[in-house]
A and B are shown apart, each in its own frame.
Chain A
């Protein structure tokens, strides 16, 4: 009996480890509103749209990856309905995406094909239109593959990759102009070559990156990865602090297996970021010290859930962690980031991946797909919505759930608003975020 339990536990650990790797690929880099690039206008009121980058799956009748636009405004007659679905014409391992600093374009990446799709979301925000496809990403970047995180810098996009043309996890970042012209490639350091997320802090002039694995691993069936020790060795364990202005690495931390999503605190008085390691389920705090350098420390064990995505509220109080392996959504109180407190655990099962919340922290959206080769056979395809109540707990909005069973497997969610483009009501609903760097607060 005891032996049996123990064996199950070991197996479960292995599975968790595997899943964690997969998680990395799926995790959105800048989906939710508080975690958008600091260089971007924010939707501080009710979002009108949720843009869902959706993986094509012929078994569902979806022959192409697509951008699915959901009506998210409860005041709308078509609330909760699919407003449009724009196919890109191929299946690319649709994963993450991000908006440009002016929120006029949504960049979406394919982890398998390495294609980047640029959508115009400004002309008709209810019906985004594909305006550019970058087919030769690996060629123009000098060998990068698997475009993962898309982060807006002023007037340009920073893309963090997972892999390179040989399929390994040696990788880097590349910059492009907002309309898709290649600017430059920055390889990760030789002693910490893996990549995943890349998150700027404007006020600190720092970029924080994390690490996952290469295409040889994330495009391999999960059971095979788990059963192949050579593949299991190919995961990164580092987080790097960079000078954002010069794009030079300053400090490298070995934080544990596959640190994936990174979230900087938004409050002006806070100077820390949080991440979770997929393979050994730690919550890691990266905090600025009085001398201006950073330290990294483990502040919690989130459990063997294979943590994949994070969402931190704009007031830095509520952290949501999704677990791919268990399908759980864990809600932490981060009032003291050194001592996170678990508030509640919500079962979404059998798997969960992306979580995005509104700027006011009242609305939380979740999707479930991670990677085509890692998703579970019994997974269901939906987008669910929760609200944060006055009691500080989440409640699912029954009746909202969007059925993706014929649309594809839903991944990253980005928000849209009509008010972004000068329509009436824009002043109340959209804040030009970012305190001026030089002005006294």
Chain B
């Protein structure tokens, strides 16, 4: 009974995805080119600095509240750092959406630490379900996914500020009758000058590609 309930929770889905992502990262190491039947990634991330990321637009400023510290966080105060911005909600039932973003950010946080880049990058996950994702819920979520100090989980606190943030980043959401939120998955990479340089959705989001893009921007 308890097991059955646990499996049905987003937490379990995330745990499963985290395990999958880690296994996947390990499997991606061999040099042989995988075939589709192998169930492995079919391409290797491009080496950092071997490509340019176009400037998509100036990242609109916003203010949210860090659920762990209670401190306000304004995007403008993060200039000089690369910011990985993920818009999400903790109740997301689609393992290919928010839990994927969470798993990818966790992999990225570890990779950044290993490369000594943690101090130059901020991972910022902002909920668009501020009514249910209270600071307490977000803190519990932090613990569950094992977020470290370089990863801020935050809330816009009010529906008005959430709507303004989503409009500014062209992220549409719609509430379904069952309480779930219909939304495209979006993760944005913002460069040290405050410009959006990459947008990922679920078919594009991979920790190794994210790391390659972040390192490319850090080298500019």
Contact = CB atoms under 8 A, between A and B. Distances in A.
Contacts of B40: 440
A432 B202 contact: yes
A203 B170 CA distance: 25
Contacts of B178: 427
B57 A202 contact: no
B42 A203 contact: yes
A434 B96 CA distance: 8
Q: For the complex of A and B, list the 8 residue pairs with the smallest distance between their C-beta atoms, beginning with the closest.
A: A422-B174, A155-B199, A434-B203, A246-B51, A202-B203, A154-B201, A292-B33, A205-B43
Contact of A421 (B43, B182, B203): B182
Contacts of B186: 154-155
26 contacts: A102-B172, A104-B172, A154-B204, A155-B199, A155-B201, A175-B54, A184-B54, A205-B43, A245-B209, A246-B51, A271-B36, A421-B182, A422-B174, A427-B178, A432-B185, A435-B96, A436-B202, A437-B202, A438-B21, A438-B104, A438-B207, A438-B208, A439-B17, A439-B24, A439-B96, A441-B39
Interface string B184-217: 1110100000000001111111111100000000
Nearest to B185: A432
Given A437-B205, A440-B24, A246 B50 contact: yes
B57 A269 contact: no
A156 B199 contact: yes
Contacts of B24: 438-440
B176 A122 contact: no
Interface in A368-396: none
A339 interface: no
Contacts of B94: 432
Contacts of B17: 436, 439
Interface in B5-25: 17, 20-21, 23-25
B1 interface: no
B212 to A, nearest CB: 8
Given A177-B57, A179-B170, A437-B206, 20 more contacts: A101-B184, A102-B184, A154-B204, A183-B56, A202-B203, A203-B203, A245-B46, A268-B36, A290-B33, A421-B174, A436-B202, A436-B203, A437-B204, A437-B205, A438-B21, A438-B41, A438-B100, A438-B207, A440-B24, A441-B39
Contacts of B203: 38-39, 154, 202-203, 433-437
B50 A440 contact: no
B97 interface: yes
A224 interface: no
A300 B176 CA distance: 47
A54 interface: no
A204 B202 contact: no
Contacts of A436: 17, 95-96, 100, 202-203, 205
Q: In the complex, which range does the number of interface residues on chain B fall in?
A: 35 or more
A203 B40 CA distance: 10
B2 interface: no
B113 interface: no
Given A269-B37, A434-B96, A436-B96, A154 B200 contact: yes
B115 interface: no
Interface of A is mostly: loop
Given A202-B204, A440-B39, A177 B56 contact: yes
A243 interface: yes
Contacts of B176: 422, 424, 426-427
Interface of B: 17, 20-21, 23-25, 27, 33, 35-37, 39-43, 45-46, 50-51, 54-57, 94-97, 100, 103-104, 107, 170, 172, 174-178, 180, 182, 184-186, 188, 199-209
Nearest to B174: A422
A291 interface: yes
B17 to A, nearest CB: 6
B184 A41 contact: yes
A38 B45 CA distance: 19
A248 interface: yes
Interface residues of A, number: 51
A270 interface: yes
A424 B184 contact: no
Nearest to A179: B170
Contacts of A38: 203
Contacts of A247: 51
A439 B21 contact: yes
Interface in A208-254: 243, 245-248
Interface string A178-213: 110101100000000000000000111110000000
A270 B20 contact: no
A87 B182 CA distance: 31
B33 A181 contact: no
B204 A432 contact: no
A178 to B, nearest CB: 6
A293 to B, nearest CB: 9
B84 to A, nearest CB: 14
A102 B57 CA distance: 18
